[in-house]
Amino acid sequence: MQGFWPVIDQNVFFFFNGWLGENLAFRYVVAFTNLRVFDTISFLSMLAIFGWHYRKMDKAGRRWMLCMGVVILLTAVIGKQFDLAWNVERPSPTMFFTDLGTPVLRVSELTGWPAKDWSSSSFPGDHGMCLLIFCFYMLRYFGWRTFMAGLMVVVLFSLPRVMSGAHWFTDIAVGAASVNLIVLSWMLLTPASDKIIAWLMKKMHWQMLS
């Protein structure tokens, strides 16, 4: 990472890392929000937003939404291929500074909880990438109010990884965002997503009739 980004990354990391040592409540909030169970909560939050619209639909609308859900998953799979193709081995800030001999705090050691605060390859942020994909599909098909609800989910469930040092700020702000700018421009700024949803609708209708 070149230019001004490393300075931002370092400042963000040490700001939150310092707080881990100074504020007991903050320490345990960061630990809890980096447990595996919290990932389940993020999925349920997205499902709740999706379900709020789903329950208002008629039978055809619900089939359409299920097809859209499949396309969202497909988009995430395509985005993951960029991660694999780039093959960037970038250690998380906790690992990076530890290897340099710089003392850093790890929330898992401070609390004794199995919180995620360490990664040998943190770029791009897969978690943030998937959340952003969902968020922009909500914007494309349900408008700004749903987008803002989705954006709250993105911030709430991406920030803990940055606060614990499991990800650099730029893993999400640059890495995940860059992947999404490419993939989502293909899917949402062209007829691609509409055409795939329509194709799935026809397949689902045919299956229901057979």
pLDDT digits 0-9 by tens, 48-72: 999 999 999 999 899 999 999 999 9
Question: What is the rounded average pLDDT for all residues in the chain?
Answer: 88
In our burial notation (b when 16+ CB lie closer than 10 A, e otherwise), range 102-129 reads eebbbbbebbebebbbbbeebbbbbbbb
Mean pLDDT of 174-195: 90
Phi-psi region of 136 (alpha: psi -120 to 50; beta: other; left: phi over 0): alpha
pLDDT tens-digit readout, 18-29:
999 999 999 999
Q: How far apart are CA 22 and CA 111, in angstroms?
A: 13
Report the amino acid identity of residue 44.
Answer: L
pTM of the model: 0.85
Domain 5-209 CATH assignment equals 1.20.144: yes
**pLDDT at residue 155 is higher than 80:** yes
pLDDT of the residue at 210: 46
Query: Which residues are CB-neighbours of 117 under 8 A, at least 6 positions away?
Result: 34, 92, 94, 106, 107, 108, 164, 165, 166
Q: How far apart are CA 135 and CA 49, in angstroms?
A: 10
pLDDT of residue 79: 85
Quick one: tokens of 84? 């694999």
Residue ranges covered by each domain of the chain: 5-209
**Helix axis angle, 36-54 to 126-142, nearest 10°:** 10
Residue 180 pLDDT > 50: yes
How far apart CA 138 and CA 89 sit, in angstroms, is 32
Looking at residue 3, what is its pLDDT?
Answer: 66
Q: Note the pLDDT of residue 43.
A: 87
Instruction: Give the pair of three-digit tokens for residue 102.
Output: 């710089």
Q: Tell me the CA distances in angstroms from 40 to 37, 44, 127, 157, one per residue in order.
A: 5, 6, 12, 10
- Amino acid 87: pLDDT: 65
Region 120-131: mean pLDDT is 78
User: From CA 161, how far away is CA 85, in angstroms rounded?
Assistant: 23
